Structure 1
Amino acid sequence: MSATPSLKLSLIVAGLLAFSSGFAADKMSREEYNAAKDRIEAQHKADSEACEALKDNAQDVCEKEAKAKEKIARAELAYQRTGEDRDRMEIAEVKAEQEYAVAKERCDDMSGDQKDACQKEAKAAEEKAKADMKAQMKTN
């Protein structure tokens, strides 16, 4: 599906923004925070509206991707606001969970053993991402 590269690109860009914002270590003002929150909500609404043109599972996948982008952006915003390590780690956890949710939804296009294998692969990727995150926490 064409939405897959879009989500991956969005996640990469979001990750880079989160990383770069951490180096600034300046806390956001209330106005900046509210403006960023409004932008996230507007982007989610636009992404969700774009999904309406799709049908069946393609629409479901699109909606999951839109929700995933919103949740990741909100986690990144929380980190930009506080600069705290726990919020930085929350970004990694939210990304893992949302990538799993999107992958699991994509599996719905399949059936039988192929669907089972797809779901197991998606779950394994989520668990690996969370394990990597925990290992990174221990080294920091």
Structure 2
Amino acid sequence: MNKKLAMLIVCSAAFSSAAWSATSEKSAAYTAAKDTAATEYKLAKAKCDAITGNPKDVCIAEAKAARVHTESNAKAEYKNTLAARTSAAKDIADADYDVAKTKCGSLTGNDKDVCVKQANADKIAAVANAKADKKVVEARVDANDDKRNAEYKVAIEKCDALAGPGKDSCVVAAKTKFGK
């Protein structure tokens, strides 16, 4: 019995250190991505200093957008949740909108109005796509849960045809297979 307990402790320690290592690696990758984004932003912004007027504003907005893209994607990867991925898509849409709107700054009159409206339409479309993607994933998860529950009910129904220990093992196998 002591050998089993010792083996259990060793296995638990191995699994927990592997999980900690994976979390540590994800955290390190996230931190590295944020640092890289900050460094690249500083370099891009420094290149913008040589430019003047609206092109400089566009250059800075593009540098900021690149930073947002990198940081948002890294954060979504680190958190690895549907909400994080949706939030990242929305942040990216906002950053891209800022770039497009800044590009409109050099225009005048109706051309500028059309440009701003197009930038806004693109942002609305990107946010709507992010929300739609989230709903699609949620619907697929719900559908898979419904399928799994239906399959579980079928498996339990098959077990009802058995009796005694055969039925008990069939029910245990069904519960194990479907995570019940």
> One fold, TM greater than 0.5?
yes
Runs of 4+ in 1 over 6 A off after TM superposition: none
Q: Which has the higher contact order (CA 8 A, sep 6+)?
A: 1
Quickly say closer, same or farther: Cα 1:137–1:30, change in 2 above 3 A. Answer: closer
RMSD: 1.4
2:74 to 74, 77, 88: 77
Counterparts of 1:31-42 in structure 2, within 5 Å, are 31-42=28-39
Unaligned runs of 5+ in 2: 1-21, 138-180
Does residue 1:100 correspond to 2:121, yes or no?
A: no
Partner of 1:93: helix, strand, or coil?
helix
After TM superposition, the score normalised by the length of structure 2 is: 0.60
1:29 is displaced (CA, Å) by 4.2
Q: 1:53 to 1:80 in 2, by over 3 A?
A: same
Distance in 1, matches of 2:29 and 2:123, equals 32
Change (3 A) 1:33 1:129: closer
Q: Give SS of 1:108's match.
A: helix
Paired position in structure 1 for 2:109: 112
Rg larger for: 2
**2:53 aligned to which of 53, 56, 64:** 56
Is residue 2:85 matched to residue 1:88?
A: yes
Q: Residue deviations 1:12-42, cap 9 Å, x none?
A: xxxxxxxxxxxxxx64444333332211111
Percent identical residues:
31
